[in-house]
Each structure stands twice: as C-alpha cells, then as structure tokens.
Amino acid sequence: MADRVSVIALGGLGEIVPGTDLPALIADSLATMAEVLPLQDDDVIVVTQKVVSKSEGAIVDLTDVRPRPEAAEFARRYGRDARQIEVVLREAVRIVRMANGVLITETPHGFICANGGVDASNVGPASGSIVTLLPRDPDASATAIRAAVRDRLGRDVPVIVSDSFGRPWRLGIVDVAIGVSGLLPLDDLRGTLDADGREMRSTVRAVADEIASAAELALGKTTGRPVALVRGAEFTRGEARIRDALMPPDMDLFR
C-alpha cells in the first residue's frame, strides 16, 4: 500500500494538430526527463482528452454544421450554439436528458455526459468555430501511447485518457477515465478483509477515475499541460476496456 502518491505534470507538448504523432511526442517528453525522473513500476501516464482528440482529428468545424430544428429551438431558448447542439445530437446514441439548457446524452462508447463530450474550450488559437469530439476509441488511444512509451523507453507504463465529467447531484466537474490501457479501471476488493478482519463486501474502487482526478489537480484547466505522471497509486495491472467500468443498462436506475 502506497503511503505517498505523487502527481507530476509534464511540460507542454506544443501545438497539437490533426496528424500530430501524440504517442511519439509523449514518449519523447518522458525520454527527455528520464534522467531526472526515470519511470517507475508504479507510474501511470494520464493524458487529457483534448490533445488526444485533436491529434486524431476528432474535431468538427461548426461552420459546416446545419442544425436540425430541435437543436435550433433548444439553442435559442437557452442561449446556446445551435450548431454545437446539432453535433452533440449527431454523436449521441441516446438523449438522456434535454432540459433546463442541459443536454445529457449517451455516446457510442457508453458514456453518459453533458454535451456528449463535445467541447469548445481549449481547442486552439484562431479556432472560434472548432469543437472537439471524444476520441473514437479512447482505449485504443491509450494503447497507442503505451506502446510508443514501451518502444522508446523499454517500460510498460499503464495509460489513462481522461476527460472532465459532471455528476448528477454535485456541482462542478471532475476528471474521470474515458480510456485505459494496462491497468484495471476497477480495483475489486470484494471478498478481501478490512483492517479489522471483516469482509468488505461492497467495495470496488474506481481507481482509474481517482487517478484521473488526481492528475487534474496538477494539470488544471488553464494551462497547456495535457500529460501527468501519477506515481505510487495502488492499482492492478491488466488488460481491460473502460466499458468494463460503466454501469450496464440493466443496472442503471437513472435512464
């Protein structure tokens, strides 16, 4: 059990555009700092969604988007951008809630989140009409970064792609994992004993989400630093998909 966890923000990667080899950039950045900060067995790399989406070209220029009447009406009523609403609806497999100016959808990945993860902030200078979508396959994005780091540095470091999500009953956003590679997003302690020898029946730690939140504390929202190393957290290595950490529809009490 770790008694100390460190979150280290990596330096900026420079401008990321569609086609940027983000895995190589991250591997380079880690190689540069390897002398002062060599990778360890208990490291996890956290990369924020925005740079992943941009490098993969998961962006839409709103200039080309024609909103459907439903999007135009919702945007007019709540002072939002109808073209962005249209993009959210196009990306959605299901509308969960569309009320009070809030649009919550289910994405093809199974995520339920505000605006389907479509985001206009931090997209780049002189890009007033560009929004990012979620990466098509964030687990694959994480796996590509993990492979580049392994090839370059000879270490198999788990990778989390993170994004900011709201929560139904709490204000504000927290970063959670939207893609994983090399670690299990859930640390299942059911059946293990607590400090008093009592069985902990119901504890499944969402450790990838907690690592993503910890990374956000060092990366923040207003800087150009999209990658953090989280060192010393207790997690379990393994191959998994982030979908394994999402509530199955038959257990969802809030559809």
Residues 233-252 that bind a copy of itself (CB under 8 A): 233-234, 244-247, 251-252
Query: With 0-12 CB in 10 A as exposed, 13-18 as middle and 19+ as buried, what is 1?
Result: exposed
Continuous segment of H or E residues that includes residue 47? strand 43-48
Is 36 near a copy of itself (CB under 8 A)?
Answer: no
Give the range of 27-35, 51-59, 133-141, 217-225 binding a copy of itself by CB under 8 A: 217-225
| Residues linked to residue 130 through DSSP beta bridges, in sequence order | 61
Which position among 127, 136, 151, 239 is part of the footprint of a copy of itself (CB under 8 A)? 127
Cβ distance to a copy of itself smaller for residue 17 or 217: 217
DSSP per residue, 183-219: B-S-EE-TTSB-TTS-B-TT-EE-HHHHHHHHHHHHH
Is 13 near a copy of itself (CB under 8 A)?
Answer: no
User: What letters, b where the CB count within 10 A reaches 16 and e where it falls short, cover 203-220?
Assistant: eeeebbbbbbbbbbebbe
Cβ distance to a copy of itself smaller for residue 123 or 147: 123
Is 63 near a copy of itself (CB under 8 A)?
Answer: no
Q: Round to whole Å and give the CA distance between 40 and 233.
A: 12
Is 209 near a copy of itself (CB under 8 A)?
Answer: yes
- 15 Cβ neighbours under 8 A, 6+ residues apart: 124
Site for a copy of itself in 157-186 (CB under 8 A): 164, 167-176, 185-186
Cβ distance to a copy of itself smaller for residue 65 or 214: 214
Is 151 near a copy of itself (CB under 8 A)?
Answer: no
Tokens of 20: 């940027």
Site for a copy of itself in 65-104 (CB under 8 A): 97, 99-100, 102, 104
